[in-house]
Amino acid sequence: MTETTPEDGSAPGDPEEMAESSPSDDSPRRRNLRGKTIAVVPTLFTLGNLLCGFMAVFVASRPMDTPMAFNWTPLTCAAMFIFIGQIADALDGRVARMTRSTSELGEQLDSMADMVTFGVAPAFILVQIIGVQAPYFSDTGDTFYDRLGLAVAAIYVACAGLRLARFNIEVEDATVGSHLSFDGLPSPGAAGAVAGLALLHQHIWANNNESFGAGLAAYGLLGATLLCALAMVSRFRYVHVMNRYVRGRAPFLSVAMAVVVLLLLLVWPQPAIAGGFVAYAVSGPVSAAWRKGRG
């Protein structure tokens, strides 16, 4: 929160001012917010996104031998909760616009939900997969690899917060639903890349159990998480998939590619999900390099 100085010149949060204040002295904005109602359906989707983030962290913290549905590992379930959160995040704004119930309260709640589901949860899944112990706090688990894993996870969380804060400021200057691209990798896209690679890692681990492939996937996840973090705070242009390819009419090639992606999801779901999100994450710098080369 940013502190503001009252009009009478007293310091913000002054005890005497707080003691003398009464409900009738509230600012007009505070009284206006207090009297407003909340749009039920969009808020439920936003809270669903928030709870998906919480469930992802909770399930990821369970022991690896915890029995789960469909014989999934806890980290697989955690990754799936992130994907469910993405669906809820996509629907809350759309429902709010359809019902004409957008509000400042909804925007702030959406940002907080995104911070948990697309910021904290992916970072926590990362440290669980690579087995970070207690760097800086333990003699037995304070290795270079532990410190590196914790540092990358912390960088990801910080960059996700910066990305969401910057988006909240910049979106005020754009017409909602009209922009066709983003500045920087959107936090749902970054979370999808991390969760997709986590899903692929767990698939390899479940079939080969601590094989070389699983170890290599863990190192790849560590590097991909760091790159996604930096991409979120970059100025690379990323296409808005929903606005450009889903809404309205789309080129024939886009429809054909969508069919191919759906077929790949049916045949090789884990590699297709991971590959799709990683391809989106690298599309920003690749497109920038392509435009620079042509220019």
Q: What is the pLDDT of residues 21-73, one digit of tens each?
A: 444 455 655 555 554 566 788 899 999 999 999 999 999 999 998 999 888 99
Judge whether 54 lies within some domain.
Answer: yes
Judge whether 272 lies within some domain.
Answer: no
Judge whether 37 lies within some domain.
Answer: yes
Judge whether 283 lies within some domain.
Answer: no
Judge whether 3 lies within some domain.
Answer: no
Which pLDDT tens digit goes with each residue over 254-275? 677 778 888 888 889 999 999 9
Judge whether 249 lies within some domain.
Answer: no
Domain that holds residue 204: 28-236
The answer to whether residues 112 and 47 touch, using CB atoms and an 8 Å cutoff, is no
CB atoms within 10 A of CB 291: 10
Q: Please identify which residue in the block is written with the tokens 């399930």.
A: 59
- Compute the C-alpha angle 201/218/290, nearest 5°: 90
Strands (E) across the chain are located at 181-183, 237-239
Judge whether 247 lies within some domain.
Answer: no
Among 27-31, 95-99, 284-288, which stretch is predicted with the lowest mean pLDDT?
27-31
Indicate the pLDDT class of residue 149, thresholds 50, 70 and 90.
very high
Q: List 238's β-bridge partners, or say none.
A: 182
In this structure, the dihedral spanned by the alpha carbons of residues 72, 75, 80 and 83, taken in order and rounded to 10 degrees, is -160
- Longest CA–CA span in the chain (Å) reads 69
In angstroms, the CA 165 to CA 273 distance is: 27
In angstroms, the CA 283 to CA 262 distance is: 20
67: domain CATH number? Answer: 1.20.120.1760
The answer to whether residues 254 and 239 touch, using CB atoms and an 8 Å cutoff, is no
Judge whether 245 lies within some domain.
Answer: no
In angstroms, the CA 133 to CA 147 distance is: 9
What is the average pLDDT value for the chain, to the nearest integer?
Answer: 82
> What pLDDT is recorded for position 82?
98
Rg (CA), the chain: 22
Domains identified in the chain, total number:
1
Query: Which amino acid type is present at position 152?
Result: V
